[in-house]
């Protein structure tokens, strides 16, 4: 929420986490990434180790007011019970994970929108305000498009993409409904992977 401008954006933070484990042999930067929609898992090389994360079902919403101040670049405590079922599935794909020591448990807030799409474009009712936010933990994937849309808007150029589906105002009054946002964000975290599994 952009409180000073009386603007409410339809996004809500949930806990989003991954592990970085040590592997018997240091992984090279050219190691391929992987996505396993059946298990809601993804992973890649991370500073020679192996990053394994998940887009979990029934993600845990965070109450922003409960976070200490300042919280920028801070982390939440590890949640071993929540990640355990996903890591067990990762072990089925990569058996060496069963004995791999964990280097780091990264657990931080990530914002999600009710439909899993980012908020990109001009904000109605607030002249001169454009946003590119709520990347739903896929910021790298969306980055080129988000940059092009915002660039076109700020330069006053015809849009290269039809960006209506990313309109920041698309949720109307529900953007200010914490209960709606909390529940929708909790369910949307795993939705993208569930859809991929149905293709």
pLDDT of residue 140: 83
**Rounded distance between C-alpha atoms, residue 54 and residue 41, angstroms:** 4
Q: Whole-model pTM?
A: 0.88
Determine contact, residues 117/170, Cβ cutoff 8 Å: no
- Which structural domains are found in the chain, ordered by start? 12-112 (3.30.9.10), 114-194 (no CATH)
Question: pLDDT of 91-145, one tens digit each?
Answer: 999 999 999 999 999 999 999 999 999 999 999 888 889 999 999 888 888 899 9
Structure tokens at 125: 């009712």
Least confident among 28-32, 55-59, 66-70, 102-106: 66-70
**Rounded distance between C-alpha atoms, residue 144 and residue 101, angstroms:** 36
Q: Bigger pLDDT: 2 or 101?
A: 101
Phi first, then psi: what are they for 45, rounded to 5°?
Answer: -70, 140
**Rounded distance between C-alpha atoms, residue 153 and residue 158, angstroms:** 8
**Rounded distance between C-alpha atoms, residue 11 and residue 2, angstroms:** 12
Give DSSP secondary structure letters for 127-186.
TT-EEEE--TT-HHHHHHHHHHHHHHHHHTPPPSS--GGG-TTTTGGGGG-HHHHHHHHH
pLDDT of residue 68: 86
Determine contact, residues 13/111, Cβ cutoff 8 Å: yes
How far is CA 179 from each of CA 10, 36, 56, 68, 83, rounded to the nearest angstrom? 11, 31, 20, 22, 25
């Amino acid at each position: 929420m952009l409180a000073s401008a009386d603007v409410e954006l339809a996004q809500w933070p949930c806990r989003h986490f991954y592990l970085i484990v040590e592997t018997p042999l240091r992984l090279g930067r050219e190691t391929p990434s992987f996505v396993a929609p059946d298990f809601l898992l993804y992973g890649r090389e991370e500073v020679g180790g192996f990053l394994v994360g998940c887009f979990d079902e029934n993600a845990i919403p965070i109450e922003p007011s409960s976070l200490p101040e300042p919280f920028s670049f801070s982390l939440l405590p590890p949640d071993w019970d929540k990640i355990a079922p996903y890591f067990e599935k990762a072990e089925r794909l990569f058996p060496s994970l069963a004995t791999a020591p964990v280097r780091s448990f990264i657990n931080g807030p990530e914002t999600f929108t009710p439909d899993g799409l980012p908020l990109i474009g001009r904000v109605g009712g607030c002249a001169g305000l454009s946003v590119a936010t709520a990347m739903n933990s896929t910021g790298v994937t969306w980055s080129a498009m988000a940059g092009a849309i915002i660039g076109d808007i700020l330069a006053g150029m015809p849009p290269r993409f039809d960006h209506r589906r990313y309109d920041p105002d698309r949720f109307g009054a529900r953007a200010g409904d914490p209960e709606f946002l909390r529940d929708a964000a909790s369910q949307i975290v795993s939705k993208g992977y569930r859809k991929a599994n149905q293709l």
